[in-house]
Amino acid sequence: MADDPTYVYAAGEGDPPELPGGLTGVADRPLRVIEAHGMWAAVSTVPSTDFTQDALQERLEDLAWLATTARAHHDVVDELGRWTTPAPMALATVYLDDDRVRAMLDERGTELAGIVRRFRGHTEWGVKAYVAPQATREPEPAGRAASGADYLRRRRAARDRATDADSVAHDAAERLHEAAATHAADTRRHRLHAPALTGRSDRMVLNGAYLVPAGDEDRWRAAVDDGGDGGLTVEITGPWVPYSFVAVPAQPAEEGR
Amino acid sequence: MADTVRWTGSTSPQRTARPQSQQSGTDLADILERVLDKGIVIAGDIQVNLLDVELLTIKIRLVVASVDRAKEMGIDWWERDPTLSAGRGDLEDENARLRERIERLEAAASGDGQGPDTAELPEGRDDVSRTRPEREREPAARAERRPDDRSEPEPEDGFEPEDEFEEQQPESEDGLGEQVEPDEQAEPGEQAEPGEQAETEDAPESEDGTDPEAEETGRSGDDEDTDERPRRQRSARPKRRR
């Protein structure tokens, strides 16, 4: 137990949040808060069996473990987001002990505080849009193919139609993104998930993240609603702690101390 | 507007509830996308490189390999695809017709009017079902390739190596109906598929392949086994302790 490392979920600036008791995180270990240097970190002690470098590397390739741990991590960050403005760590940010966490808070405090200030008063919303394959493939010629060559011709024609539909869907996705960006302080475009990942038969054409100021959620949502034409199926996720906006593309998050 | 935009069921509860209600694979993907890719990356004492592209690939593979995903994507999707399912009946008829034509052509060419092919005719229909397990065997690979099936232009050789056509391949190649061997049949189609997978995963291996010396002299190339690479890269990162 003494050797069990400390897992960090998120850090924040100023007074630590007063969390309700009984919260647990990764591996069902109780959530604690470490304070140091005007910063705080939400942590829990995790079993060293899973969190040595080798074990962790192996564990990360175990889907069940990865999924459970990712959800536990996310749930803690999400809970913190209800009470304060956390700067969310990536999964499996682990230190040997609490002192090492305090050292990190000292070392990276400025950077973390900068992230917290950018996030304060904002939440992240995700917009995913899909285009239904049925819509692109419906106009099939009636009757069955008269020959193999005819069958191949039909298949190719169907594909050509699908290509046209792809560009239509692409334009619709761009319009939706612009609409969603209207009331957002910042935006990110994430990589599109393959159907294998979404488990859907329709194809993802937009996977955006939008940093929306508190109070603007309704306007933002209405804008997304208006922008979602073109036969897209639109899915909104959120509110998220603004994971997607941790990194600042143009300039590093560090500000002068 | 209302008929083209379908707000999915998960939307409204999330407006107020915590995302703990997120249970499905899609939501897991959202969570992984954020907690793995987007959170603050600070070198802890136990350091793994969470931004490694290979790790993300593994992550996706793992998600795909989960039973539900595999079932849904690898086995069922083509049955639900209207294009494919609509074509199936045609395909079987087409298959039988092609066999007959080939037998006639063969008979005419060889002068042997009785070839063994006649007896093989019923098997032509069996082939359709025999090739199914081949599809099911590698659901993950299939599923990953799927976007390419839709978006990548097919080679203009007049015979697309799409899976839907695999039943027809033997006839077009050598005209011997009895050579329908599911294993051989599916493989060429899979490998001939142009797509991301070939670019991202096969590239390092083929580099090794073009340099046989590297293996024989024991010179350890940087990229050999794709499965080994991410781990090596990540563990090569030193722990940062200060």
* Rounded Cα distance, B8 and A210, in Å: 19
Average pLDDT value over all residues in chain A: 87
| Separation between Cα atoms, residue A245 and residue A210, nearest integer Å | 9
Tell me the sheet residues that pair with A189. A208
Calculate Rg over the CA atoms of chain A.
Answer: 23
Bridge partner residues of A212 (DSSP): A123
More confident residue, A1 or B217: A1
- pLDDT category at A125 given cuts 50, 70, 90 is very high
pLDDT at B131: 36
Task: Say whether B59 and A91 touch across the interface (CB within 8 A).
Answer: no
* CB contact A82 to B (< 8 Å): yes
Chain A neighbors of B1, CB-CB under 8 A? 225-226, 228-229
Residue B71 CB partners (closer than 8 Å, separation 6+): B139
Residue predicted with more confidence, B202 or A112: A112
Q: Which residues of A touch B84 (CB under 8 A)?
A: none
Q: How far is A128 from chain B (nearest CA, A)?
A: 10
B125 CB within 8 Å of a chain A CB: no
CB-nearest partner of A89 from B20, B22, B42: B42
DSSP state of A171: H
Q: Per-residue confidence at A36, pLDDT binned at 50, 70, 90?
A: very high
ipTM exceeds 0.85, yes or no: no
Domains plus CATH for chain A? Answer: 6-120 (no CATH), 123-245 (3.30.70)
Tell me, what amino acid is at B140? A
- Could you report the per-residue pLDDT of B20-68, keeping only the tens digit for each? 333 334 477 788 888 887 888 887 888 765 545 445 555 555 555 554 4
Per-residue model confidence as pLDDT tens digits over B86-130: 444 555 666 777 888 888 888 888 765 444 444 444 443 433 333
CA-CA distance, B43 to B48, in Å (whole number)? 8
**Could you tell me if A226 lies within 8 Å of chain B, comparing CB atoms?**
yes
Instruction: Decide if B82 contacts A137 (C-beta within 8 A).
Output: yes
Q: How high is the pLDDT of residue A200?
A: 76
What is the chain A residue with the closest CA to B14?
A238
Say whether residue B31 is in contact with chain A using an 8 A CB cutoff.
yes
Residue B23 touches partner A, C-beta closer than 8 Å = no
